[in-house]
Amino acid sequence: MLLSVFVNYWIGILLDKFRKQGKLLLTIAVAYNLGILYIFKYLNFSVDTLNRVTGAALTIPQIALPIGISFFTFQIMSYVIDVYRKQVEVQKNILDLALYISLFPQLIAGPIVRYVDVKNQIAQRGTSWEKFHAGVIRFAIGFSKKVLIADQLSSLVDTVFAGKYPSLWGHWVGILAYTLQIYFDFSGYSDMAIGMGKMFGFDFLENFNYPYISRSIKEFWRRWHISLSTWFRDYLYIPLGGSRKGKARTYVNLLIVFFLTGLWHGASFNFIVWGLFYAVFLIAERLGFEKVLKKMPVALQHIYSLFVIMIGWVFFRADTLGAAVDFIRGMFVPYGKDIAYLNVTLNPQYVFFLVMGILFSIPHTKAMKRVNASKIGRALYEVFVLLTFVLAIIYMVGSGYSPFLYFRF
């Protein structure tokens, strides 16, 4: 990370000084950053794939994956690209650039913070009791989402994906649990990062906007991991031509973007298939299915979106492509043991956390407006949040180590 800061700092300085050589310097910067990411994240995968395809026996040392490398690499690339585009002024203080890259609240698992969004805050940010207070509440909400919902569903997810209780019912319960687990785990981390940022005077952009209420896959990607999807849109999709160069080129661009979106998540064919899976549906919606969707009842639009999302999460969670295919088959082929395993896969504790997950994955705008309408209502809400936070701490102390799911990416 420190080497990345040092190299990109000087490339930024040179970009600002030698504009005629801008394309060459930007190429060097992108090659360096992607090269570092490739060596640490994809080199082992590449060698293993080459060995399987060719029958070779190439060996290299196993390379440890530096935590947060995907996030801080994309952040520093956005800075260099924006300097090249003259969208931001070059940062001449290397410590300020290092602060941008090493901001610990969101360093490990996002959201991806762009330099343009925090450059003024790095130079001069305002701290206040009100902002610190808001940060504490936001942190408590994120922590509770992670510990009280995501972590409580993890054992159910692990049990189902391990195939211990095979049943059609169990497969659907398992993927529903994972759908909720990954949302509350990742959005919980984002809430905690945004909350900690506020405590120190930083305002990070939102990373989730209730993605499971989407009526199409296009809408889902506007609501899910917003910092990543907008990064790919602004720094890859639009430079490739976006939707400005005809339909065929648009579809190719979508395939490229979502191939790389999948690959960004990890060195695995599962993630590649997961990305391309979404690309297929996005292309289908552009080809005319979106118009058909809009004519359907709203409930059917939601069902379609959730169905596609849940099938996609199978590829994301399964260890191998074969395991993913087997799991999807298990979602549609009866085992004959559904009743026998009903009470095992869905005990009262799991039912409670599944229901809580569903309830809190949808917005309650009207209720929150009524709560915020009075000081007493707001105070009671914050007492509830802090009591839930204390309960989450008790749960955490009584359980084992449970890292955030996005640490692995």
Is 265 marked active-site? yes
Among 315, 298, 259, which residue's Cα sits nearest to residue 282? Answer: 259
Question: How distant is the alpha carbon of residue 401 from its chain centre?
Answer: 21
Task: Provide the token pair at 12.
Answer: 């930024």
Tokens 């060596």 sit on residue: 39
Q: Where are the alpha helices (DSSP H) in 266-374?
A: 269-284, 290-295, 298-317, 321-330, 342-345, 348-360, 365-372
What is the rounded CA–CA span in Å between residue 134 and residue 237? 35
341-348, long-range: CB < 8 A, 24+ apart: 341/165, 341/166, 341/167, 341/169, 341/170, 342/167, 342/169, 344/165, 344/170, 345/156, 345/159, 345/160, 345/165, 345/167, 345/169, 345/170, 345/173, 345/174, 346/169, 346/173
Among 327, 328, 326, 237, which residue's Cα sits nearest to residue 282? Answer: 237
What 3-state class would DSSP assign to 67? coil
What 3-state class would DSSP assign to 20? helix
Among 113, 32, 124, 40, which residue's Cα sits nearest to residue 79? Answer: 113
What is the rounded CA–CA span in Å between residue 50 and residue 236? 27
Task: Provide the token pair at 176.
Answer: 């529903």
Q: Where are the alpha helices (DSSP H) in 212-246?
A: 217-223, 226-232
What is the rounded CA–CA span in Å between residue 130 and residue 364? 24
Task: Provide the token pair at 407.
Answer: 């640490």
Among 100, 64, 63, which residue's Cα sits nearest to residue 79? Answer: 100
Tokens 């990607």 sit on residue: 221
Residue 396: φ, ψ to 5°:
-65, -45
Name the active-site residue from 133, 171, 265, 302.
Answer: 265
Task: Show which residues are catalytic.
Answer: 265
